[in-house]
Chain A
Amino acid sequence: MRVNSNDPEKKEVVTRRAAVFGGGFGLLLAGVGARLFQLQVLDHEKYQRLAQENQFNTRIIAPLRGEIVDRFGKILASNRQNFRLLLMPDEAGDIEAALDRIRKFVVIPDDKHAKLLREIKRTQGYAPVEIVNNLGWDDFSKINYELPHLPGAHPEVSETRNYPLGNATAFMIGYVGAVTERDLEAPENENQQLLLRQPGFKVGRDGLERTYEKELRGVAGSMDVQVNAHGRVIEEIEDSIKQPTQGETLGLTIDADLQLAAMKALEGESASAVVIDIETGDILVLASTPAFDPNIFTKGIPTDLWRELNESPYKPLLNKPLGGVYPPGSTFKMITAIAAQRAGVDPSFSVHCNGKFWHGNRFFHCWKKEGHGRVDMKNAIKHSCDVFFYTMGTKLDIDQIAAVASELGLGEMFELGIPGMRNGIVPSRDWKRAHYAGTPENQIWFPGETLSVAIGQGATTATPLQLAVMTARIASGKEVRPRIVRFRGDLELPTPHAPHLDLNEEYLQIARAGMNAVVNEPGGTAVRSAFDNKEWKLAGKTGTAQVYRITDEERRRGLTKGEDLPWSRRDHALFVCFAPYEAPRYACAVVVEHGIGGAKYAGPKAKEIMTAVMTKDPARLKAMTPGALAQNASRAREG
C-alpha cells in the first residue's frame, strides 16, 4: 500500500479527470446561465404578464336587492344585515382547537360541528367555511373583541332578505332562495354567472320576487383585488371599485295595515280575502290563510317543515285568492239577474217560491225548504231565493249567462305577476265542447245544467280575485282591472283604463239594490254584516258552495246541518260586498273554505275587513311616489 499511495501516475490521472470535471461543470453552469438568460431577459415580458395575471382578480360586489314597499312606502321586503362568522382553516392551525375556542362564544351544535369538520376536510382548508350566520349583535361584537385570540376567524356582514310582515305577504311577494343549477343555465342569466356564483347570493323563488327578479336584482359592481395562490384576497385596489347599483324598488298597491287586519280576521281559517279600490283597480288586500313565514324559506326550507306544509289539509302553500277556485254559489245570482234583464225579463217579474222547482223530470230545491213566497228580482237577491233564479234559468240560454259572467271578469286571468294564478270556469256551450273534446256524446248542453249555473253551481268556478273584480264591476259599471304594482324604480305604472261595461246601468242598479237589501234591509240574508257605524252602508251577497251533497239516508238520520259534517265535507262560505253603497269605492270578496255558510261565517269576516278599510279609507290618502321615496331615502342617509 505504501508503495502505491503516492503513485505519480495516479496523480496525473486524477488531475486530468478533475480538469474534465471542472470543464464539464463550467459548461453545465453556463447552460444554467443561458437558461436563466432566456427566462429572465428574453422571455421576461411573458412571465411578467403571467405574474400579474396570477396576482389580480376581479371580485364581484353583489348589488343590494331592490326593496318592495306598500302603497304608503311601508317596507314589505328589504335587506337586513346578517352577521356571520367565517373560518379560514389554513389560518386557524389546529381546526378542532380553533372550533373549540369559537364555541366558547357561539353555540355550534354537535351535528353542525361534525359537518364543518367534513367540509374543511373536503376543501383541504383553502376555502373559508361559514361557522354560524344570523348572529346577534351582542355575539358578533363579542367575537370581534376576542378576534386576536381566534386565529382564522373572520367576522363578516352580509345582507339577507327580510319580510317584516312575515306570513301576511308570503303569497304575493314570495321569497328568495339559493341559486340552483337551473338558474345558472337559464338564458336570461347568461351574463350573470359571476354574480350568481357569489356565496350566499339569492334569487326570487316565488311571487313577485320571482316575476320581478330582473328589476329587483340590480347591477353588480366590481373591484380588482390582489390574491394569493389560494385565491385569498390580500389587498383591495381602491381605485378600481365600480359600485353596484341597487335593484329597483317595487311599489305595490297593497295597504300593509289593511293586509294585516285581513290576515287577523281570517286567522284560524283556511280562507282568503281580496279588497280592490274600485276606481283604480288597486288591490289593497290579498290575504290567504294559513300562510308560511317567508323569512324561514329564505334561509333554506327545512325538509320537515316543507312536508308539514305540503301535507296540511289547510293547504298553506296554496295562494288561495289567486289560485283557489270555488263554485261561486249564490254570489253568482247578480250575474243571472243582470243576464235575465238583458234578455228582456222585467225586474218587477215575480215568482212564487214554495221551496222547490220542478224541471225536466226532477225537483230543484230552494235552500229554504218552506219557500220564500212571492219574490221579485231584488227580493230574490235579498233572500237568495233559488227558485226565482231556477226560473230565470229556464228563460235564459247558458251563453247569455256566460256572456255577462265574462263581462264581469269571471274566467279571466288578471296578470298580476304572481305565479300560480288560475282562471276558473265560466260554463257555456263552447266550454263544454272543449272540455269534452274526446267524448262528443258528452258535449251536448242540457237545459237542467243552466238551472245549476243560474245559482252559481254546476261547473262554475271562480277565484276570490275574480269575485272581487266582479263585485267592483257591478258596483261601478266599469271594466275595473286589478293591479298590484304601482311603480317600479322611477317608472310609475298608469292606472289601467276602465271603460264602461257593455251593460245597461239599470240592470246593474237592481243587482246593487239587491245587495244593499241583503245587508241593510230586515230579512236580508246578511243583516248581521251591516256596519256598526250607521253612516256607512255595505252592500253584499252571501254564497255557499256545496262541497258534499247530504244523502237522503243521512237526512233521515237527522244530519241536516253543515256543522255536523267533517271539516273537509263542509260547504265553502263566500261573501262579496262593496262600500259605500251610495258611492262605491271598495269591493271585497271573502272565501272561507269549508266555512259552512256565507252569511254566518264569511260575512262577519268581510264586515271586519271592510270596517278597517272604511276606517282608514286609503283612497283618500296620498300614496307614495318614487320621487318621494327617493327623497326619504336620501334624508335618512343624511340623518
Chain B
Amino acid sequence: MASIILPGPRRGIQDQIARLHWPMIVMLTMIAGAGVVTLYSVGGGSWSPWAGTHALRFAFSTFVMIVMGLIGIRYWMALSYPIYFVALIALALVPLIGDVNMGARRWIDLGPMQFQPSELMKIGIVLALARYYHGLRAEQVSHILFLIPPAIMIAAPVGLVVLQPDLGTAIMIGATGAAIMVLAGLSWRLIFLGAAAAVGGAIAAFRFGVLHDYQLKRIFTFLDPDSDPLGAGYHLLQSKIGLGSGGLVGKGYMLGTQRELNFLPEMQTDFIFTIFGEEFGFVGCVGLLLLYFAVIMTGMNIALRARSHFARLAALGVCVTFALYVLINTGMVMGLAPVVGVPLPLVSYGGTVMLTIMAGFGIVMSAHMSRDADGTAL
C-alpha cells in the first residue's frame, strides 16, 4: 500500500492526510451541508427520507475521495484507459441487461447495488482524454490525424447514452470531452468548426427524430415556456414562482409554500435549487453560487500547479464537469436552459451522481498530492 501511495520520499499516513487540500474539503462539505439542510426541509422537517441518507452518502463519498486522493496520479494515469473501456463496455451492455426506469434504460443491477455506467463514463472520458493529450506534442493537438481518436472516444459513449435515452448525461459527457480538447490546445479554427458541427448535429437530431417526444417537448418548452403552462411548462413556471416569491432573503427555513404544497415535482433532485431559493432568498442563492465558484477556482488552481500534463487536464476536466452541472441545473430551474434532468451537484439527492462528483474530486485531490510528480514514470 505504502508503495502505491508514496509518490516521493516515504511519508507517514498522518502526514499524507495533513497534506490533503483541506480548504477544498471544507467547501465541498459546506455545499453538501446546504443540500442536507434543504433536503430536511423538503422532507417536511424530517431526516427521512432524504436528508439523513444524503449526509451518510456524502460521508462515504468523502472517504472515497480521500482514498482516491492518496493514490498517486501516475496510477490514475495508468488506469485511465482501462476505466474508460470498462465504462464503455458497461454502457454497451445496458440495453441488453439494464433495468427500465421511467421509460429509460440506464441502470445495471449488481445485486445489492445498482450501477449506472453513464456516471462512470463521466470520469472515464476525463481520464482517457487527459491520458491521450498527455502523450501528444503541442503541435500535434490540432493535427487532423490526431483528432480522430478523441472524436471516437467522445462519440462512442455519447451515442450509447443518447440511446438509453438520457439527453442530459449525453450533453454532459460530450461537453466535457469537447472542453478537454479545447483545454488541450485545439486551434480556434477547429473549435469553431466543431461548434458548427455540433449545431448542425443538433438540428439533424431534430429533423430525423433521434430525440424522444418528451425531449423535444422540453426543448420547445424552454424556447416558449408560456405555450403550455399546465403541461411541460408547468414545472418551469412553478419553479420561477418558487424562486421569485423567495425574494431577497427568502421566506425562511422550512417556510416555503411552494415546497410545502407540493407544487414542484422532483423537489429533492432537479428542482432543489428552487426550494433553496424560496427559503433562503437571493442572498442565500448568491452565497451558494459563490461557494461553487470558489470550489471551481480552487480546483483549476490545483490543476494548473500540477507538473504532469495528465494531472492538469484531468483535474480541469473534473472542474469543467462540475461547472457544467452547476450552470445547467441553475439555468434550468430559472428558465435559462431546457429542463434536461441535470442535478445540482452535492445538493440534489442522488447517490450515484454524488459518488461520481466526489470521485472526480478524488482525481483533483490526487493531482494536488502529486503536484510535484511529472508523470514521466510509474
Interface range on chain B: under 10, 10 to 19, 20 to 34, or 35 or more? 35 or more
Stretch touching chain A among B115-123, B197-205, B297-305: B297-305
B184 at the interface (CB under 8 A from A): yes
In the complex, chain B residues whose CB is within 8 Å of the CB of A35:
331, 334-336
Question: What is the distance, in angstroms, from B165's C-beta to the closest C-beta of chain A?
Answer: 24
Please measure, in the bound complex, the distance between the C-alpha atom of A6 and the C-alpha atom of B133, giving whole angstroms. 11
State which of A41-49, A60-68, A214-222, A499-507 sits at the interface with chain B: A41-49
- CB-CB contacts of B226-244 with A at 8 A, as 1s and 0s? 0000000000001011111
Given contacts A25-B327, A29-B327, A39-B334, contact A5 B241 (CB under 8 A): no
Which residues on the A side are within 8 Å of B238 (C-beta)? 54, 229
In whole angstroms, how far apart are the Cα atoms of A4 and B135 in the complex? Answer: 6
A10 with B185, Cβ < 8 A, contacts A26-B293, A47-B245 known: yes
Interface of A is mostly: helix
Instruction: Mark interface residues in B249-287 (1 if CB within 8 Å of A CB, else 0).
Output: 000000001101111100000000000010001100110
Q: Is the CB of B257 within 8 A of A54?
A: yes
Interface residues contributed by chain A, number (CB under 8 Å):
44
Measured CB to CB, the closest approach of chain A to B80, in angstroms, equals 14
A55 touches B257 (CB 8 A): yes
Interface stretch among B147-155, B312-320, B349-357? Answer: B312-320
Are A1 and B263 within 8 A (Cβ)? no
Could you give, for residues 9-37 of chain A, a 1 whenever the CB lies within 8 Å of some chain B CB and a 0 otherwise? Answer: 11101110110011001101101110111
A residues in contact with B136, CB < 8 Å: 4
Q: Are A46 and B244 neighbours in the complex by a CB distance under 8 Å?
A: yes
Chain B residues, Cβ within 8 Å of A51: 241-242, 244-245, 257-258
Q: B105-145 CB contact bits vs A (8 Å, 1 = yes)?
A: 00000000000000000000000000001111110010000
Contact B327 A32 (CB under 8 A): yes
Query: At the interface, yes or no: A310 with Cβ under 8 Å from chain B?
Result: no
CA gap between A29 and B293 in the complex, in Å: 8
A229 to B271, CA, bound (A): 15
Nearest B residue to A36 via CB reads: B285
* CB-nearest residue of chain B to A234: B261
| CA A50 to CA B258, docked complex, whole Å | 10
Asked if A2 is at the interface (CB within 8 A of a chain B CB), the reply is yes
Q: Which residues of A contact B138 (CB under 8 A)?
A: 7, 9-10, 13
Distance of A12 Cα from B371 Cα, bound (Å): 16
If A14-B313, A37-B282 touch, whether A44 touches B308 (CB-CB below 8 Å) is: no
Residues of A within 8 A of B331 (CB): 32, 35
* Smallest beta-carbon distance A539→chain B, Å: 75
Contacts A7-B309, A21-B320, A32-B336: A50 and B245 contacting too (C-beta < 8 A)?
Answer: yes
Total of A-B residue pairs, C-beta within 8 Å = 160
A17 in contact with B327 given A10-B138, A44-B247, A47-B245 (CB within 8 Å): no
Contact of A36 among B261, B286, B323 (CB under 8 A): B286
CB distance B263 to A229 under 8 Å? yes
Residues of B within 8 A of A466 (CB): none
Taking a contact as CB atoms closer than 8 A, the residue among A5, A25, A41 that contacts B134 in the complex is A5
Contacts of B281 in A (CB 8 A): 40
| B35 lies within 8 A of chain A by Cβ | no
Interface: A369 (CB within 8 A):
no
The listed residue with most B CB atoms (<10 A of its CB), out of A25, A230, A234, is: A25
Which residues of B are found within 8 Å of A11, using beta-carbon distances?
A: 309, 312
CB distance from A494 to the nearest CB of B (A): 56
Task: Judge if A227 is at the interface, Cβ distance under 8 Å.
Answer: yes
Q: How far is the CA of A91 from the CA of B13 in the complex (A)?
A: 52
A33 touches B309 (CB 8 A): no
> How far is B243's CA from A65's CA once the two chains are assembled, in angstroms?
46
Contacts known (A10-B185, A11-B309, A39-B334); A21 close to B304, Cβ less than 8 A: no
Contact for B300 among A7, A18, A32, CB less than 8 A: A18
From residue B283, how far is it (CB to closest CB) to chain A in Å?
9
**In the complex, A14 Cα to B247 Cα: how many Å?**
41
Residue of A with least CB distance to B303? A18
Contact with A along B47-64 (1 / 0, CB 8 A): 000000000000000000
Q: How far is the CB of B142 from chain A (nearest CB, A)?
A: 10
Judge if B342 is at the interface, Cβ distance under 8 Å.
no
Contact A18 B304 (CB under 8 A): yes
Are the C-beta atoms of B241 and A226 separated by less than 8 Å? no
Q: Distance in Å from the Cβ of B359 to the closest Cβ of chain A? A: 21
A406 CB within 8 Å of chain B: no
Interface string of A379-410 (1 = CB under 8 A from B): 00000000000000000000000000000000
Residues of A contacting B36 with CB < 8 Å? Answer: none
Whether A32 contacts B289 by the Cβ 8 Å rule is yes
Determine the residue in chain A with the shortest Cβ distance to B377. Answer: A2
B66 near A: Cβ within 8 Å?
Answer: no
CB distance from A88 to the nearest CB of B (A): 13
Contact between A50 and B277 (Cβ–Cβ < 8 Å)?
no
Query: Contacts A10-B185, A35-B336, A230-B262 hold; do A21 and B179 have CB atoms under 8 A apart?
Result: yes
* Distance of A40 Cα from B276 Cα, bound (Å): 12
Residue of B nearest to A15 (CB): B304
Contacts of B303 in A (CB 8 A): 18
Closest B residue to A28 by CB, please name it: B327
Q: Which of the residues A1, A5, A14, A32 comes within 8 Å of B183, measured between beta carbons?
A: A14
Chain A nearest CB from B358 CB (Å) reads: 20
Report which residue of A7, A9, A31, A36 has the largest number of chain B beta carbons within 10 angstroms of its beta carbon: A36
CA distance A50 to B239 in the complex (A): 11
Q: Chain A contacts of B71 at CB under 8 A? A: none
A123 contacts the other chain (Cβ, under 8 Å)?
A: no
User: Is B69 among interface residues, defined by CB-CB distance under 8 A?
Assistant: no
For residue A81, CB closer than 8 A to chain B, the reply is: no
A54 touches B261 (CB 8 A): yes
B296 at interface, CB cutoff 8 A: yes
- Interface: A228 (CB within 8 A): yes
Tell whether, in the assembled complex, residue B261 and residue A227 are in contact, meaning their CB atoms are under 8 Å apart.
Answer: yes
Taking the closest CB of chain A, its distance from the CB of B102, in whole angstroms, is 16
B243, B289, B335 — most chain A CB neighbours (10 Å): B243
Say whether, besides A5-B134, A14-B313, A18-B303, A39 and B327 are in contact (CB < 8 Å): no
For residue B191, which residue of chain A has the nearest CB?
A: A17
Complex Cα gap A25–B290 (Å): 12
Q: How far is the CA of A54 from the CA of B141 in the complex (A)?
A: 55
Residues of A within 8 A of B216 (CB): none
Nearest chain A CB to B118 CB, angstrom units: 23
The listed residue (B330, B335, B375) touching A5 by CB distance below 8 A is: B375
B246 at the A/B interface (Cβ < 8 Å)?
yes
Compute how far the CA of A41 lies from the CA of B292 in the bound complex, rounded to whole angstroms.
22
Asked whether B307 is an interface residue with its Cβ less than 8 Å from the other chain, the reply is yes
Assembled-state Cα–Cα distance A39/B285 (Å): 12
**B374 interface contact, C-beta 8 A:** yes
- Chain B residues within 8 Å of A6, by CB: 307-309, 374-376
Q: Which residues of chain A from 228 to 256 have a CB within 8 Å of any chain B CB? A: 228-230, 234
Checking A9, A29, A44, A226 against B326 with a beta-carbon cut-off of 8 angstroms, the contacting residue is: A29
Considering only residues 295-324 of chain A, those with a C-beta below 8 Å from chain B are none
B331 to chain A minimum Cβ distance, whole angstroms, is 6
Tell me the complex Cα distance, A22–B376, Å: 28
Query: Are A228 and B293 neighbours in the complex by a CB distance under 8 Å?
Result: no
Q: Which residues of A contact B316 (CB under 8 A)?
A: 14, 18, 21
Contact status B244-A14, CB under 8 Å: no
Minimum distance in angstroms from B302 CB to a CB of chain A = 11
Q: Give 29 CB contacts A-B under 8 Å.
A: A4-B137, A5-B309, A5-B310, A6-B307, A6-B308, A10-B137, A10-B309, A14-B316, A18-B300, A18-B303, A21-B182, A21-B183, A21-B316, A21-B320, A28-B327, A33-B286, A36-B285, A36-B289, A40-B246, A44-B244, A47-B245, A48-B244, A51-B245, A51-B258, A54-B238, A54-B263, A228-B260, A228-B261, A229-B261
Query: Closest 8 interchain pairs by CB?
Result: A47-B244, A13-B185, A51-B245, A40-B282, A228-B261, A9-B138, A229-B263, A44-B247
For the A-B complex with A26-B293, A39-B334, A54-B263 known, give 7 more contacts whose Cβ atoms are closer than 8 Å: A4-B135, A6-B375, A13-B141, A40-B248, A50-B245, A55-B257, A228-B260
